Amino acid sequence: MDVMEIMAKAIENEKKSEDLYRKCAEESSDPETKAVFETLANDEHNHQRVLKERLVALKLKMHRF
């Protein structure tokens, strides 16, 4: 597995985690628990964004050479 495949898999894993936390937040009746899951989901979303940005930068760098 090369770096680009690893990055793509990491993005996929972050998306799965985000989806899970959002589902948990939706199913939670306790406001504090719901807020924790929403925060976790947002964190995973931000991780995806950072990884996607780095993947694009890596692709651009590789195409220059």
Q: Quick: pLDDT tens for 16-35.
A: 999 999 999 999 999 999 99
Question: Backbone phi, then psi, for 29, in 5-degree steps?
Answer: -95, -15
pTM score > 0.85 for this model?
yes
The predicted model gives 4-13 an average pLDDT of 96
pLDDT at residue 64 in the model: 79
**How do residues 44-62 score in pLDDT, each as one tens digit?**
999 999 999 999 999 888 8
Residue 65 clears pLDDT 80, i.e. is over it: no
Sorted by where each begins, the domain ranges of the chain are 3-64
What burial letters (b/e) apply to 13-39, b meaning 16+ CB within 10 Å?
A: ebeebbeebbebbeeeeeeeeeeebbe
Q: Which two tokens stand for residue 28?
A: 């939670």
Burial class of residue 41 in the structure, from the number of CB atoms within 10 Å of its CB (0-12 exposed, 13-18 middle, 19+ buried) = buried
